[in-house]
């Protein structure tokens, strides 16, 4: 059997904050260790000191380099300049694989990949939605416009890689059954992510860890935290950890509710350091694909309470008592109160560690993605 040659892989995405960045970092590290050459193209206007440190950690695995340039969330005339810069950079790298993540990353990878294909470059164009455009509502002008764009771009796609079954089902419901190759490859986490992280002495009862924007539900968490205090008739400790565009709004919400001294806000930090600050992780998102925070928390043996959105039920179990309807702060408060006052709640509710670890491993994820890359590239011959 001929030896498999190393691949030149470029990942394109917009914001280096949250799950997409984590997904790409894990793929870059595993594929680099397997002998492939990897590069990243992403936005330069988002992120913080925390993300700068993450870039520094991953740089030894980016033999094709890191290119950061302004890529706005909304569509605008500025996109043309950004696309031209991306094209010049990516063309010089001569990639075998262009993998776009999220809506904007998917556009960049598939448009530039298509231009290169016209010029007879042999490059495979792949796309992972990670929620992205799938969060738009059908039968709205913005939603139908985005879905139409996805249908058009599908013609310039060798394969779509969904991170969970729910994401694939949502794509089929809103956009249609993919006409290109389509697979489900679960997000996975590394061996170093596994191992208990006990809460420090005097730590918080509840932790929110994630982006500070309404889609992730920090406001729902704040409302639920206040309700749990009322139900239990005593003050609690909470911690909100993260960065994002709505930080000022949540600080004002805490001030108005008189919670600022008990529900503390801190900037983003390494996730296992954050886990040490409290006992129970609350994930109150209004929409998700397959959030890494659920996987990371379970790997750290932290109890999780989460919204019934995206692929979260595929991790916790569809009938899990830890799941609540998104946006329902009263229901969230009920589960939070039960988890806090029932000593055996976590043991009864969280999935077994051995089955969880074998199913959501970064090494398995990276191997499946590499197989997909090679299959799509071979089909171009």
192-359: CATH topology is Rossmann fold (3.40.50)
The stretch 301-322 carries a mean pLDDT of 96
Q: What CA–CA distances, in Å, run from 27 to 40, 146, 206, 226, 367?
A: 11, 27, 31, 40, 9
pLDDT of 74 reads 65
Question: Per-residue confidence at 289, pLDDT binned at 50, 70, 90?
Answer: confident
For the cut 80, the answer to whether the pLDDT of residue 125 exceeds it is yes
Question: Per-residue confidence at 3, pLDDT binned at 50, 70, 90?
Answer: low
pLDDT of 128 reads 97
pLDDT of 82 reads 81
Question: Per-residue confidence at 79, pLDDT binned at 50, 70, 90?
Answer: confident
Q: Which residues of 17-55 are buried (b: 16+ CB within 10 A; e: fewer)?
A: bbbbbbbbbbbbbbbbeeebbbbbbbbeebbeeebeebb
Q: Across the chain, what does the average pLDDT equal?
A: 94
Computed from CA positions of residues 297, 347, 312, 27, in that sequence, does the dihedral angle turn out positive or negative?
positive
The stretch 120-135 carries a mean pLDDT of 92
CATH number, domain 8-188+361-379: 3.40.50.2000
Question: Per-residue confidence at 193, pLDDT binned at 50, 70, 90?
Answer: very high
Lowest-confidence range among 225-229, 255-259, 355-359?
355-359
Planar angle of CA 110, 158, 367, nearest 5 degrees? 105
Is the pTM higher than 0.85? The answer reads: yes
pLDDT of 268 reads 92
pLDDT of 1 reads 38
Domains 8-188+361-379 and 192-359 share a fold: yes
Q: Residue length, the chain?
A: 381
335: CB partners within 8 A, 6+ apart: 305, 321, 322, 324
Ordered by start, the domain boundaries in the chain are 8-188+361-379, 192-359
């Amino acid at each position: 059997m001929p030896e498999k040659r190393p691949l030149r892989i470029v990942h394109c995405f917009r914001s280096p904050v949250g799950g997409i960045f984590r997904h790409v970092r894990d793929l870059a590290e595993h594929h680099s260790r397997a002998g492939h050459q990897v590069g990243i193209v992403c936005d330069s206007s988002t992120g913080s000191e925390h993300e700068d440190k993450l870039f520094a950690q991953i740089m030894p695995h980016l033999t094709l380099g890191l290119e950061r340039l302004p890529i706005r969330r909304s569509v605008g005339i500025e996109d043309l300049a950004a696309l031209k810069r991306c094209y010049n950079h990516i063309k010089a790298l001569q990639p075998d694989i262009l993998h776009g993540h999220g809506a904007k990353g998917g556009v960049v990878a598939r448009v530039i990949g298509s231009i290169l294909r016209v010029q007879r470059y042999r490059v495979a164009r792949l796309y992972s939605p990670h929620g992205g455009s799938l969060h738009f509502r059908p039968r709205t002008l913005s939603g139908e416009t985005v879905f139409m764009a996805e249908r058009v771009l599908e013609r310039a796609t060798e394969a779509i890689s969904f991170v969970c079954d729910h994401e694939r089902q949502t794509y089929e419901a809103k956009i249609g059954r993919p006409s290109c190759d389509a697979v489900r490859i679960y997000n996975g986490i590394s061996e170093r992510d596994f191992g208990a992280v006990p809460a420090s002495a005097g730590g918080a009862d509840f932790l929110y860890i994630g982006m500070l924007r309404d889609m992730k539900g920090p406001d729902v968490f704040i409302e639920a935290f206040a309700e749990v205090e009322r139900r239990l008739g005593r003050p609690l400790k909470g911690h909100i950890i993260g960065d994002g565009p709505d930080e000022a709004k949540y600080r004002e919400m805490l001030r108005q509710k008189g919670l600022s001294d008990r529900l503390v806000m801190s900037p983003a930090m390494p996730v296992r350091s954050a886990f040490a600050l409290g006992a129970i992780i609350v994930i109150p998102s209004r929409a998700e694909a397959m959030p890494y925070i659920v996987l990371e928390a379970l790997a750290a043996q932290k109890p999780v309470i989460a919204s019934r959105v995206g692929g979260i039920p595929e991790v916790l179990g569809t009938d899990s008592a830890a799941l609540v309807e998104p946006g329902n702060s009263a229901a969230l408060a009920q589960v939070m109160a039960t988890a806090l006052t029932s000593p055996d709640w976590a043991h009864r509710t969280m999935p077994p560690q051995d089955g969880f670890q074998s199913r959501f491993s970064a090494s398995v994820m990276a191997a499946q993605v590499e197989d997909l890359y090679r299959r799509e590239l071979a089909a171009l011959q």
